[in-house]
């Protein structure tokens, strides 16, 4: 300790000693005694100091109390809409979540929860257990509808929100059955929007919602809610090195549910809009390696014969070049898509996300570059072939 610090410390110690003396002497001042006076030293007094929290003004707690009350009310209202799904397959048993879509007994969940089932049991909020049957499935969107036969008056359908209105940073609440623990509630925020994830089918789920609300195995198919208790997504997957929650959860946007579920109920399937191309996202590195005229966009690698793009005259690659860090040779010579209906295309994800908001039979205009010439091509979208 420096001399300056010692001097400061000594000053404070002296001040504290003087203060104690003053407190012990009463109002009359400092007591004195003559050298000849006889005095008896008072025994030392032990003092115990108890630290207590300083009370805060009630108004400081008011907003916290309001939020807590809001969440408790939300769980009370939406909890009965959430169900626990137990599935038996030829490979064993599994568990998942779902929520009531209407008073007719239709329940929304993930396709992967009920895929390959031989028996489905649904545990309701009152802990009663009923059998369920599959009404329709969509592996590409990972959505499914199952149905139970229960009285309409005992069903509490969930209220659907608008995922286009969701913003990064807003509250997100998940209710589900992780590891079979029924109606578990977790809370976080919306971490990101517009995520695109490829599926085993080769197609991708677009516009997925990312959240840090804890999601674990068994949460699949359950609702992701906003602070008002409206469904904004269907909890579907996590990204984790261990297989359990690591802070990255993803939900299918509810606006996809609004499109797919009615078709699953009425038809048993949903027709996804289809462009009929395969392509690569153009990066500056790929543009440099292939000597492309732009450093962003989508390079058309192949056009499906007889598909919508082929009928519109779109062209795929005519050769291939091996590019560093690419596992396969990249087709070259195809059209480059730089826009769709006036929206700039930065890569394949842009096209996938845009098509997610279209319908089969709808016409879209593609802005392309072909042989360094800018063109516009109108494509009437088809229905994606069933796998």
Set 112, 140, 191, 356: catalytic member:
112
Catalytic residue of the set 81, 138, 140, 142: 142
Q: How many CB atoms lie within 10 A of CB 387?
A: 10
Number of CB atoms found within 10 A of residue 281's CB = 16
- Residue 62 CB neighbour total at 10 angstroms: 10
Contact of 106 with 147, CB cutoff 8 Å:
yes
Q: Pick the catalytic residue: 163, 220, 309, 353?
A: 220
Cβ neighbours around 362 below 10 Å, total: 13
Extract the tokens encoding 110: 């993930």
Structure tokens at 52: 């207590």
Q: Does residue 128 have an active-site annotation?
A: no
Residue 220 among the catalytic residues: yes
Cα dihedral 284→290→294→297 (10° resolution): -80
94 alpha-carbon distance from chain centroid:
22
Q: Where are the beta strands (DSSP E) in 222-267?
A: 223-225, 231-238, 249-253
Residues 6+ apart with CB under 8 A from 272: 140, 141, 203, 355, 360, 383, 384
Enumerate the active-site residues: 112, 142, 220
């Amino acid at each position: 300790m420096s001399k300056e610090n010692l001097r400061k410390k000594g000053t404070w110690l002296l001040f504290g000693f003087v203060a104690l003396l003053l407190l012990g002497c009463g109002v009359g001042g400092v007591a004195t005694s003559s050298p000849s006076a006889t005095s008896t030293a008072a025994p030392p007094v032990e003092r115990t100091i108890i630290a207590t929290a300083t009370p805060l003004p009630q108004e400081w707690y008011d907003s916290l109390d309001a939020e807590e009350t809001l969440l408790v009310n939300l769980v009370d209202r939406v909890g009965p809409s959430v169900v626990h799904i137990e599935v038996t397959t030829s490979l064993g048993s599994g568990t998942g979540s779902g929520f009531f879509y209407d008073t007719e007994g239709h329940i929304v969940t993930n396709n992967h929860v009920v895929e390959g089932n031989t028996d489905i049991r649904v545990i309701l909020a009152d802990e009663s257990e009923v059998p369920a049957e599959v009404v329709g499935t969509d592996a590409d969107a990972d959505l499914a509808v199952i149905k139970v036969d229960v009285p309409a008056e005992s069903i509490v359908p969930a209220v659907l929100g608008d995922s286009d209105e969701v913003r990064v940073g807003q509250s997100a609440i998940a209710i589900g059955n992780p590891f079979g623990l029924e109606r578990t509630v977790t809370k976080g925020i919306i971490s990101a929007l517009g995520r695109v994830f490829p599926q085993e089918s080769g197609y991708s789920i677009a516009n997925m919602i990312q959240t840090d609300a804890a999601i674990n195995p068994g949460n699949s198919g359950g609702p992701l809610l906003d602070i008002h208790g409206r469904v904004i997504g269907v909890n579907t997957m996590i990204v984790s090195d261990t297989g359990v929650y690591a802070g990255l959860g993803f939900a299918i946007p509810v606006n996809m549910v609004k499109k797919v579920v009615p078709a699953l109920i009425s038809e048993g399937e949903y027709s996804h809009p289809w462009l009929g191309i395969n392509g690569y996202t153009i990066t500056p590195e790929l543009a440099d390696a292939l000597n492309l005229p732009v450093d962003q966009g989508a390079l058309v690698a192949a056009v499906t014969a007889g598909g919508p793009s082929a009928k519109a005259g779109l062209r795929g690659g005519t050769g291939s070049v091996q590019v560093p860090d690419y596992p396969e040779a990249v087709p070259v010579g195809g059209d480059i898509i730089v826009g769709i209906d006036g929206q700039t295309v930065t890569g394949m994800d842009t096209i996938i996300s845009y098509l997610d908001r279209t319908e089969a039979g709808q016409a879209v205009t593609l802005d392309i570059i072909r042989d360094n010439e800018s063109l516009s091509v109108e494509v009437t979208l088809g229905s994606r072939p069933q796998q």
